[in-house]
Amino acid sequence: MGNLLGSLYIGSKSLAAQLAAMRVIGHNIANANTEGYTRQELILQTSIPDMSPVGPIGSGVEAAAIRRMRDSFVEARLRTGMETLARWEKKYEVLSDLEVVFAEPTDDGLSAAMTEFWNRWRDLAGNPEEHGLRASVIEQGATLANTFQYVYNDLRQLRENLDESLSLSVMQANTYIRQIAALNEQIVSAELSGDVAPDLRDQRQLLVQELSTIMDVDIDDSEAANLCVRSHGERVVDGPHYMQLELQYNVDTQMQDVRWAGTQAPLTVEGGSLYSILEGRDTIVPAYMDDLSQLAQDLILAVNRVHSSGRGSIDFSAITSLCGVNNTAVSLANIAETGLAVAPTSGSFQIIVTDSSGQAQTTTISVLDGVTDSLDALALRINSLDHISATISEGKLTVSAESGYTFGFANDTSSVLAALGINTFFSGSGADDISVAPGVAADARLVAAGLSLDAGDGDNASAIAELEYSLTVGSGRWSFSDFYRDMVTGLGVSVQETGRFVAGQENVVNQIADRRASISGVSVDEEAANIIKYQRAYEASAQFIAAVNEMIEYMLLQMM
Amino acid sequence: MRVTNQMLMDNALTALARSLEKMERTQEQLTTGRRIIRSSDDPVGTSKAMGYRADLARLSQFQSNLGRGSSWLAQTDAALSSIGDLLTRATSIALSQASATATTETRTAAAAEVQGLLDEAMLLANTRFGDRYIFSGERTRTAPFVEATDGFLYVGDADAITEEIASGQYVQVNMDGLSAFCSPASAIEGTGISGSPMTSETTLADLGITPGSIRIANGGQTTTIVLTAATTIGDVIDAINDSGARVTAEFNTGCTGLVITNLLAGANLAISDVVPGTMATDLGIADSCGPSGALGALVDLKAALEADSTLSIQSAGQNVEQTSSELLNNRATVGAKMSRFEMATDRLDSQLVSLTEMLSDNEDADLARLATEYSLQQTAYQTALAVAGRLAQSTLLDFLR
């Protein structure tokens, strides 16, 4: 009787085991489309056999464990692969945005504006009498200045946007970190009994992967119940404990710094989208901003140098320098003290004072010659001339002529006029503040097309147009347009290259993901086959129970 | 390898996305008609495109410069040709009035006709191109010659007006009034005062010149210039230029001496020392010269006719003839420039055409190729769609009924 009941017991255990297996299959099918889900398998094993005279005899089946079908090596590779992909993708995004800002080749970008600017000067050189051509030089100068400014502002905006997306990424990373720590706690308590909590682990695995796309992290042991996440020596998650990132506004850079809230250590990051956000914000975009500013600065200086030695169709009765000098007593070459954007060199310039009858008196003034070094000294020197006087107010030099007299400038070999902003075409010192000098903008007659007051003198306009060919940028290595072209071409190459990296990395990630799916993914066909397998086993076990039951029934009947 | 339904689905979706991306790219090129839309599409091509565009804009400017310059030269040529006609008429007047048949009356009438020619010449000298006087040097807002009681005073300057006709290539298009109407120049040249080239800073002491005073007689006006305070040769030049003696002083070619050019057409110029000074002699400019050029010759002829002197009329006639040949030289120079401009225009036109072609080759999309590509991509996309559609349909479950 004992054996009969034992057999009945085998049957019922088998029913329970097949049912459990069916349940696992059901769970698999239900989660076939769940992201990060790892296929589970119920492991069946034979029960401990009973002893019998013929030796140990089988006592049926029991569910031993639920196994997650996974390969931690493939998962680690997938994680690093996605980390790299996220990094390249973000970089590609940054560079593509830059490309849109420069928007070349086009008929209305910076390149075209520059070419047109030189052409307007060329046009004026051939017909300086035409007032309309002077106005058109000013108009094109303003267009060029505006183009510089708006490209520069777009770049600045791009940087600010990156700073904003930094905040979002940090917030996202913080959320993942908190969730991983919380899951650690749940997994530990769920697995106290010694079992594994597969679904919680799947969730945690997914979160670590998501975190990896933001920043590079290391994991001590992916099998551990208590997952320990590190980032360059910082313990980010350790069991239920975790550390958050925080943002701090940096007054110097006017951008946010990222650091760990616990240790106050600055964040070190070498992968993930955060890396590219920081790289874009702190390296790539600023480099283009610097290049653009360099271009604008060199253009301003080159045009102003030539312009300040020329004369318009009228002279000045008074003029005030555009650039203020902080310390009027020190040498003008000392830009640290004067605060000027460029330092004049030793040389001289001429002031031509003309009376109402056209009689002109030319005086050559040496600067930085050991005597006339500071702005004060320069004012003193100009004051020593007849019919004109110089004053300094708030660091700005004002030269004015007696009534009935006018004055102009010529042959400045020292660049002092360009440095101070006297008789210049542009004002400003970079791409952010370049504009047509207010004096010229207000009165087109002051556009210095000539070297004399003669109506047909376009020699200075010619000299300015000639700057198009001159190698001015980068200490005489590039012409303006070549420099800009190199910038745009370099950017294009970077975008192209990064695009290829992204495509390549996408393939790598896809392959690893396929590999992972091949191990951990749910195949509906397979599950369907398993259903039949376990269904049949269940049916057979039920049949077995029925048979044993019949045997018991028969025996009981006999005994009665 | 174990393949799951999700994998098949993912792969199909990736393939679809890539296919769409390609189509989008092709479509963008098709609709814009351009091969390069962003610089990353072809960085080298972008660089070329930017260069071509700049070249094209520059060449267009040169084209307009050439047009402007050609008109200016044509205007100059026309004025010079008319002056030539006047001189031809003056030559025949001189010939007929130098003959034995001429009487005082005929000469008086001829003098009146020469005055008419002079008036005509003045109008021609003051020819304008638009609102610019073409013979005034850079002083294009000022009529080059004003009539004074003793001649025609040139108030323009000797500066060049140039047009850039190719990168960095400047060509002078104007001819100043003195070269055009007073050529050969009425000038006094003091050569050999210095063995080596001088600058305006060269001191008189170095040249062995004792500062003194000089006298310039020009037309009906005599000017005394006190140079006792002068220390450099530059001071002398400035003092003479500012003296109001209606002359210009400058270095000769080679800077070994001074050239004093008379600005008063049709007048006699004489420079002498104010004794006991010897400065003018030292400078080699103590000399005199008569009127010259077209205007000078006409003034000369008129004076000769009024003086009723056969000999003077003969010499004036020769002077007119000589001036005519000088004028022809000037016209030849202008003509040469005109043909140079014409050639440059032709060259520029063909350059513009080939540059536009290069720009198009570099940037424009090959529509036929793109259209073919697009239809191929469309087929591929449709196939991918059909396959993806089938994928979702069948599993083992379908057959377990």
**B164/A122 touch (CB, cutoff 8 Å), yes or no:** yes
Query: From the CA of A351, how many Å to the nearest CA of chain B?
Result: 17
Does B296 contact chain A (CB < 8 Å)? no
Whether residue A492 and residue B58 make contact (CB cut-off 8 A), yes or no, is no
Q: What is the pLDDT of residue B116?
A: 93
Q: Which of B7, B54, B65 sits opposite A521 (nearest CB)?
A: B7
Identify from A98, A107, A453, A457 which residue to disrupt to test chain B contact, counting B C-beta atoms within 10 A and taking the largest count: A457
* CA–CA min distance B163, chain A (Å): 6
Counting Cα atoms < 13 Å in the Cβ hemisphere of A41 gives 15
Using a CB–CB cutoff of 8 Å, tell me whether B363 touches chain A: yes
Strand, helix or coil at B162?
strand
Q: Read off the pLDDT of residues B190-213 as tens digits, 9 standing for 90 and up.
A: 777 777 888 888 888 888 888 888
Interface test with A, best of B50, B72, B134, B391 (most A CBs within 10 A): B50
Q: Is the pTM of this model over 0.90?
A: no
Q: With bands split at pLDDT 50, 70 and 90, how would you rate the model's confidence at A2?
A: low
Structure tokens at B261: 């050019």
Bond into A198 cis (ω within 30): no
B137 CB neighbours in chain A (<8 A) are: 454, 456
- The tokens for B325 are 């040949």
Smallest CA–CA distance, residue A275 to chain B, in Å, is 23
The gap from C-alpha A286 to its chain's centroid, in whole angstroms, comes to 10
Look at A458 and B53 and tell me if their CB atoms are within 8 Å. Answer: no
Shortest alpha-carbon distance between residue B131 and chain A (Å)? 9
| Cα distances (angstroms) measured from residue A59 to each of A10, A193, B253 | 6, 25, 127
- Residue located via tokens 């019949």: A550
Distance CA A323, CA A181 (A): 59
Structure confidence at residue B401 (pLDDT): 63
Quote the pLDDT of residue B286.
84
In chain A, whose CA is at the least distance from the CA of B44? A489
ipTM for the whole complex: 0.81
Q: Hey, is the C-beta of B393 within 8 angstroms of any chain A C-beta? A: no
Give bridge partners of residue A57 from the DSSP assignment.
A50
Measured distance CA(A29)–CA(A40) in Å, rounded: 10
Q: Do residues A479 and A469 lie in contact, with contact meaning Cβ atoms separated by under 8 Å?
A: yes
Residues of A in contact with B242 (CB under 8 A): 359
DSSP 8-state code for residue A495:
H
Which residue in chain B has the smallest CA separation from A95?
Answer: B40
Strand partners, B265: B152
Q: Where are the domains of chain B?
A: 1-32+368-401, 55-184+292-351, 187-289
A371 burial via Cβ count (<10 Å: 0-12, 13-18, 19+): exposed
Helix (H, G, I), strand (E, B) or coil at B393: coil
A20 contacts A63 by C-beta, under 8 angstroms = yes
Task: Name chain A contacts of B142, Cβ cutoff 8 Å.
Answer: 455
Does residue A351 carry a pLDDT above 80? Answer: yes
Contact call for residues B205 and B189 (beta carbons, < 8 A): no
Distances from the Cα of A458 to the Cαs of A454, A461, A560, B66, B176, in angstroms?
Answer: 9, 5, 135, 16, 16
Judged by CB atoms closer than 8 Å, whether chains meet at A492 and B136 is answered as no
A278-332: pLDDT as tens digits: 999 999 999 999 999 999 999 999 999 999 999 998 999 999 999 889 998 999 8
Percent of chain A scoring above 70 in pLDDT: 100
Taking an 8 Å cut-off on Cβ atoms, the answer to whether B131 and A129 are in contact is yes
Judging contacts by C-beta atoms under 8 Å, the chain A residues touching residue B41 are: 492
**By the CB < 8 Å criterion, does B64 face chain A?**
yes
Q: What angle do CA B266, B272, B276 make, to 5 degrees?
A: 165
User: Would you kindly state where each structural domain of chain A is located, as residue ranges?
Assistant: 2-69+521-559, 89-158+296-488, 160-288
pLDDT of the residue at A173:
95
**Using CB atoms and an 8 Å cut-off, which of residues 17-36 of chain B contact chain A?**
36
Evaluate if residue A1 carries a pLDDT over 60.
Answer: no
For B168, the closest chain A residue by CA position comes to: A466
Nearest one of A392, A525, A515, A543 to A8, comparing CA atoms: A543
Residue A371: pLDDT band by 50, 70, 90 thresholds?
confident
Strands (E), A383-523: 388-393, 396-401, 405-410, 426-427, 435-436
Closest CA to A95 of A158, A181, A156: A158
Give the separation between CA B272 and CA B285, rounded to whole angstroms.
Answer: 8
Query: Shortest Cα distance from B395 to chain A (angstroms)?
Result: 6
Chain A partners within 8 Å of B3 (Cβ):
518, 523
In the stretch 232-271 of chain B, residues with CB closer than 8 A to chain A read 242
For B100, residues 6+ apart whose C-beta sits below 8 A from its C-beta are none
Pick among B13, B40, B161 to test the A interface (most A CBs inside 10 A): B40
How crowded is residue A122: how many other Cβ atoms within 10 Å of its Cβ? Answer: 24
Are the CB atoms for A347 and A368 separated by under 8 Å? Answer: yes
Q: What are phi and psi of B366, to 5 degrees?
A: -85, 95
Query: How many Å lie between the alpha carbon of B54 and the closest alpha carbon of chain A?
Result: 6
CA A505 to each of CA A77, A86, A216, A245, B3: distance values in angstroms, whole numbers, following the listed order: 12, 9, 16, 28, 22
Q: What is the pLDDT of residue B282?
A: 84
- Asked whether the beta carbons of residue A469 and residue B136 sit closer than 8 angstroms, the reply is no
Positions in chain B whose pLDDT score sits under 50: none
| Largest Cα span, chain A | 152
CB-nearest partner of B6 from A32, A455, A462: A32
On the question of pLDDT at A469 being above 60, the answer is yes
pLDDT of the residue at A509: 93
Which residues lie below 8 Å from residue B325, measured CB to CB, with a gap of 6+? none
**Res. A406 pLDDT band, cuts 50 70 90:** very high
Q: Peptide bond preceding B276: is omega within 30 degrees of 0, i.e. cis?
A: yes
> Considering just the CA atoms, what is the radius of gyration of chain B in Å?
38
In words, the CATH class of domain B55-184+292-351 is: mainly alpha
Angle between helices A272-279 and A198-214 (to 10 degrees): 10
Contact B65 A126 (CB under 8 A): yes
Mean pLDDT of chain A: 91
Q: Are B60 and B296 spatial neighbours (Cβ–Cβ below 8 Å)? A: no
Give the residue from B229, B246, B249, B291 showing the smallest Cα distance to B266.
B291
SS3 category, A492: helix
Contact assignment for B2 to A466 by CB distance below 8 Å: no
Within an 8 Å CB–CB cutoff, is residue A108 touching chain B? no
Window 146-185 of B: residues touching A by CB (8 A cutoff) are: 157, 159, 161-164, 167-168, 170, 174
Q: How many residues does chain A have?
A: 560
For residue A36, report the phi and psi dihedrals to the nearest 5 degrees: 80, 0
| Cβ within 8 Å, pair A129-B3 | no
Most B-contacting residue of A40, A95, A115, A464 (CB-CB within 10 A), to test interface? A115
**Is B140's Cβ below 8 Å from some Cβ in A?**
yes
CA distance A557 to B59: 118
> Minimal CA–CA distance to B121: which of B334, B324, B337, B332?
B324
Task: Dump pLDDT digits (tens) for A489-509.
Answer: 999 999 999 999 999 999 999
Residues of B in contact with A96 (CB under 8 A): 38, 40
In a mutational test of the B interface, the residue from A37, A70, A91, A104 whose CB has the highest number of chain B CBs within 10 Å is: A104
Question: B401 — contact with chain A (CB < 8 Å)?
Answer: no
Reply yes or no: is the peptide bond before residue B184 cis, omega within 30 of 0.
Answer: yes
What is the chain B residue with the closest CA to A453? B139
